[in-house]
Structure 1
Amino acid sequence: MQTTRRVLVVDDEEGMRATLAANLELEGYEVVEARDGAHALELARRQRFALVLSDVKMPGLNGVETFRELRRIQPGLTVVLMTGFAIERLIEEGIGEGVYAVIYKPFSMEHLARVVARALASRPVLVVDDLPDVAEAIVAGLQAAGLRAEAVYDGYAAIQRARDEAVDVCVLDLVMPALDGVKTYEQLRRTSKQIRVIAMTGYAPPEMIHAFTSRGGYACLRKPFEVRELMHAIARARSDPRWC
């Protein structure tokens, strides 16, 4: 089995771990199980993984601490966290440091399989803004946190990029010349139903924001915003069961 299909499942509950492993194996993945964070680190030192699926609340190292250590051993490793507890501080830290997505328990195995497949596809976040300095600053912030991201500067280029290579999440300015954000969004969704689109704006009129959200746009951030706020929106979009 290729490394690109090897998934490490980390959970201190044996029954949950076995259930996750069995379902992922049915999807064609090679699954390795770890009983806790320390065990996960031991395994990661011996073999490479394409993705880690880890519980957050565990004895010893919690899921976010495990994520940090795994990234030191295998930089760029994709990690999805699972949680059934309201431990928002930990979750916020993990997302801010580059966790791909967080799945909240209870979840269906179908939903889990979709998130895992999406994560393993390793598609980029596409930032679209007609001001290159703004777009590049956002991309730099996302890349610094370990996300794969790139920028284009108009709606036409965004549509072409989505056609050339599948895009995971698109962060799209609403007010742009030639082709505005709403029209770009409509074209992107025609290109692929899998693209999640997050709008951003500093001065878009309310009717434009309504047009975006009423057509299924995921969220709209008001400029200026912190990169961490955007990362939370991206993580939510990636794991929202209504969208996956």
Structure 2
Amino acid sequence: METTRRVLVVDDEEGMRTTLAANLELEGYEVAEARDGAHALELVRQQRFALVISDVKMPGLNGVETFREMKRIQPELTVVLMTAFALEQLVEDGISEGVYAVIHKPFSMEHLVRMVERALGSRAVLVVDDLPDVAEAIVAGLREAGLRAEAVYDGDTAIRRAREEAVDVCVLDLVMPSLDGVKTYEQLRRLSSEIRVIGMTGHAAPEMIHAFTRRGGYTCLRKPFEVRDLVLAIARARSDPGAC
């Protein structure tokens, strides 16, 4: 089977591991299982995977430590973490280093399968800001964190790009000339209900921010913000069952 359908499931709980593997195999994926982080690294050295789904809490290497070692072996590898706990510091560190998303136990198989589909779709983060230097700086930070990202500088181009390419998260300035952030958001959501939109603003009126979130905008960050905060927001948006 082609590498793009090959998934590695890592969990020290055998029942959980085999259940996940069986459900993914029913969806047509080729699935390998690893009982812990060391076993997972052994498999990653032997063959290429498109996606790894790993528990965080495991004996020996935890999921984040395993993720870091995997990325040294296969830098392009996409990793989803599973946890029954809140986003503690360990998980946040993994996200800031390029973990695609975190799925919280217990979860439905439908949610897992949809997330796998999205993760393997090589979807990019689209950054929209009418100030090119700002947009490009954000994109550079996201790429440094291991995310695929690209920049456009107006709402019309954002909508056109979302039609042409697979985009799952859009980071959108709310105050722009011509088509503002709220109107751009509405058109993006009409295009695809699966696109999660994160607003950003340095001077939008509270009424505009409220209009954005009331219509379903995922969250809004105040400029200036740390790239780490944006990376965490993107991972949360991707992890949200409503996004899948």
After superposition, give the CA deviation of every residue in 1:148-199 in whole Å (9 maximum; x if it has no partner): 0000000011011001112110000000001100000011111111211000
Q: In 1, Cα distance between the equivalents of 2:187 and 2:241?
A: 23
SS at 1:52 equivalent: strand
Aligned residues: 244
Q: Post-superposition shift, 1:226? A: 0.4
Q: In 2, Cα distance between the equivalents of 1:168 and 1:158?
A: 12
Within 5 Å, give how 1:208-219 maps onto structure 2.
Answer: 208-219=208-219
Per the alignment, do residues 43 and 233 of structure 1 end up closer, same or farther by CA in structure 2, a change over 3 Å counting?
same
Residue 197 of structure 2 corresponds to 197
Residue 94 of structure 1 corresponds to 94
Q: Post-superposition shift, 1:111? A: 0.7
Q: Contact between 2:195 and 2:243, CA under 8 Å: does it hold in 1? A: no
Residue 137 of structure 1 corresponds to 137
SS at 1:150 equivalent: strand
SS at 2:242 equivalent: coil
SS at 1:159 equivalent: helix
Per the alignment, do residues 198 and 86 of structure 1 end up closer, same or farther by CA in structure 2, a change over 3 Å counting?
closer
Q: In 2, Cα distance between the equivalents of 1:102 and 1:121?
A: 17
Within 5 Å, give how 1:1-244 maps onto structure 2.
Answer: 1-86=1-86, 88-244=88-244
Q: Contact between 2:122 and 2:166, CA under 8 Å: does it hold in 1? A: no
Counterpart residue identity of residue 222, structure 1: R
Q: In 1, Cα distance between the equivalents of 2:92 and 2:190?
A: 33
Q: Post-superposition shift, 1:87? A: 6.1
Q: In 2, Cα distance between the equivalents of 1:87 and 1:137?
A: 26
Q: In 1, Cα distance between the equivalents of 2:86 and 2:184?
A: 36
Structure 2 unaligned runs (5+)? Answer: none
Per the alignment, do residues 174 and 87 of structure 1 end up closer, same or farther by CA in structure 2, a change over 3 Å counting?
closer
SS at 1:106 equivalent: coil
Q: In 2, Cα distance between the equivalents of 1:192 and 1:74?
A: 32
Q: In 1, Cα distance between the equivalents of 2:102 and 2:87?
A: 12
SS at 2:60 equivalent: coil
SS at 1:107 equivalent: coil
Counterpart residue identity of residue 188, structure 1: L
Q: Percent identity?
A: 83
After superposition, give the CA deviation of every residue in 1:74-94 in whole Å (9 maximum; x if it has no partner): 002100000013460111100
Structure 1 unaligned runs (5+)? Answer: none
Counterpart residue identity of residue 204, structure 1: A
After superposition, give the CA deviation of every residue in 1:23-53 in whole Å (9 maximum; x if it has no partner): 1111111000001000010000110000000
Q: In 1, Cα distance between the equivalents of 2:226 and 2:76?
A: 22
Q: In 2, Cα distance between the equivalents of 1:28 and 1:10?
A: 19
SS at 2:221 equivalent: strand
TM-score (norm 2): 0.98
Counterpart residue identity of residue 146, structure 2: G
Q: In 2, Cα distance between the equivalents of 1:243 and 1:43?
A: 31
Please, what is the CA RMSD of the aligned residues? Answer: 0.8
